[in-house]
Structure 1
Amino acid sequence: MISSIGPPVTVATALLVYFGWARSDAQARAMGLDVSLFGYSVQDYALRSIRSLFFPLVSLLIAGLAWLAVDGWVRGQMEPGRRGPLMARLSAAATVGGTALAGGCWLLAVVLPRGAFLAVPFLMAAGVLLAEWGVRLHRLTLGQPPRTSGRLVLQHRALEATFVFTLVTVLLFWGVSDFAQVVGRGLAADVQAQLASLPRADVYSHADLSIGAPGVAQNRLGTASAPVYKYTGLHLLVVSGGRFFLLPDGWTLARGTVVVLPDNDDVRVEFGNR
């Protein structure tokens, strides 16, 4: 049970965290920031990735169920007395086709590293698994190895399975990284398009914060001896790592400033719809 359930759960958790980091990093870079400024925790990265990972995870699970159905049918055709040339051709086709698919995707990624399709790492992983499946079908058609070499064969196959599992895991991380960057850049563009819908943030401080971002207005309140400075024209992006990240009116990806304020008693922030 541990060997069957542990590794998939570990890989899924690592994919969630890595996807959340890659997505947040791409979004921060598109906004002219570094993801380390936000101070996200591992839990934050995992939670931020769940919504965006539904599509790739569901697609992988559907593909896994389809593979199980095909594999079950093929094994049913390999019952005693029903093995024939069809199984040999199927195993050969799966091995050659999977190898060609993986090799072609790798060649495409080497020749066109920036122009490679988003699905290249996932197709490469599918090719590796298809080739491995064809090899296993071929072994089933041959029958069991002699007892004298059974232990060495088991060790060799265990090592082979480890390499295949590691390779597919690395390819999944590669594919998830590319997909996360696309999602992150899309989220940054959504922030620009939906800036007016973000919560309004009015900042109050006894000290002059000298916020010089375009679109921010300063009003002096209170008395001469105890002044209060109010800043309007800001919208809340996120609160993380003990900081407020605010965007001024008219902020854009090309020419925009992100205002970062500490979340402490020196400033007071009021939020509203508009």
Structure 2
Amino acid sequence: MTEHPVGPPGVADQATPAGLLKSVVAQASFVAALMFYAGVLYDGAYYGYFHLSPIGIGFTFPELVIQSLRLLALPLLILLSATLVVLQVPDLLRRLPRPAQRIARGSLDAVARRHVLVMLSGVLLLLAWRPLQLRGWGWIAPTTIAAGLMLGQTKAANGGRRPKGMLRHAVPVFAAGLFLLWAVALIAALMGRSDAEADARTVEDRTAVVVFSTKSLKLTPHRSLHEQCLGAEVDTLYHCRYEGLRLLVTRGGRYDLLPLDWQHDYDPVYVLQESADLRVELLPGTR
């Protein structure tokens, strides 16, 4: 009886529609979790600049994933592009002419054999991490260390054999993943604060808010906050009116408001909950 060749475990299953579906679902779950992680860090830095917490605001999982799309800017795109290029290196090499293949493979093998130097470069960059982070390039240090760790997993770096075992394979790969997560965290926090600083400089362009209240709200005074309260004898439900406010974010009847000319180090953020005694009107922002 002729026996059919048996491929590596899992290969046949991946070739079936069900196997492909499982693979796609697994990858989509990982990407969603990573985007959630990045979204939390981004929102934490963004709203933290305004002295607020995303948890306190009450963002849901899908909203945090959507927020993470704002991270698709230059630093993260560089990191993602480099990762995708590295994953496609074997296929790219096969498409090159044979002389070019030998040169490219020889160059990559030479770099892989010197992976310790790549890791050392990342460690040296860590020593200058704070100046790099202030310029928006702090993520390069952990990315370089992760690249060195992954180069150390190639055959060229291990005498033509793939490393195996906990210490030689599992631990370096896990460490590389942690360094890449750190790089994503640095990018997310950096972009969150950068976007918050940019938005704080253009508060007047945000949605204008007028607040009506049955009584004085005793808000912290601010040069741009205008309170107008009528006397008790006036026959109206709302006796007090507040202007000079701009909308930062709203959820479930809660309004987080900034006064015009808001300054990070000095000025308050007003948090109001709409109720029968308090009404909020939204108007176009003006310059």
- Tell me whether 1:114 sits opposite 2:130 in the alignment: yes
* TM superposition shift of 1:12: 2.1
Alpha-carbon displacement from aligned partner over 1:168-226 (angstroms, at most 9, x marks no partner): 32122101111112111112211221111001100011132112330211112485275
* TM superposition shift of 1:230: 0.9
Amino acid paired to 2:282:
F
Out of 177, 184, 197, which is 1:189 matched to?
Answer: 197
Out of 80, 95, 102, which is 2:119 matched to?
Answer: 102
Q: How many residues align?
A: 256
Amino acid paired to 1:187:
D
Aligned-partner Cα distance in 1 for 2:179–2:26 = 16
In the other structure, the counterpart of 2:220 is 212
With over 3 angstroms needed to count, the CA separation of the structure-2 counterparts of 1:53 and 1:88, relative to structure 1, is: closer
- Tell me whether 1:124 sits opposite 2:140 in the alignment: no
Q: Which has the higher contact order (CA 8 A, sep 6+)?
A: 1
Aligned-partner Cα distance in 1 for 2:42–2:129 = 20
Higher helix share: 1
RMSD: 3.5
Identity over aligned residues, as a percent? 24
- Tell me whether 1:51 sits opposite 2:59 in the alignment: no
* TM superposition shift of 1:55: 4.1
Aligned-partner Cα distance in 1 for 2:220–2:214 = 17
TM-score using structure 1 length = 0.77
* TM superposition shift of 1:238: 0.3
Out of 157, 174, 195, which is 2:182 matched to?
Answer: 174
- Tell me whether 1:255 sits opposite 2:274 in the alignment: no
TM-score using structure 2 length = 0.74
Aligned-partner Cα distance in 1 for 2:72–2:275 = 34
Amino acid paired to 1:218:
E
In the other structure, the counterpart of 2:43 is 24
Amino acid paired to 1:105:
G
Which stretch shows the higher mean deviation, 184-193 or 200-209?
184-193
4+ runs deviating over 6 angstroms: 85-88
Alpha-carbon displacement from aligned partner over 1:10-62 (angstroms, at most 9, x marks no partner): 43222211211111222233223344332222222211111223545543443
With over 3 angstroms needed to count, the CA separation of the structure-2 counterparts of 1:210 and 1:98, relative to structure 1, is: same
Alignment of 1:66-77 (within 5 A): 66-72=85-91, 74=93
- Tell me whether 1:271 sits opposite 2:282 in the alignment: yes
Structure 2 residues without counterparts, runs of 5 or longer:
1-13, 133-137
Aligned-partner Cα distance in 2 for 1:131–1:91 = 12
Tell whether the 8 Å contact from 2:76 to 2:184 is kept in structure 1 after alignment.
Answer: no
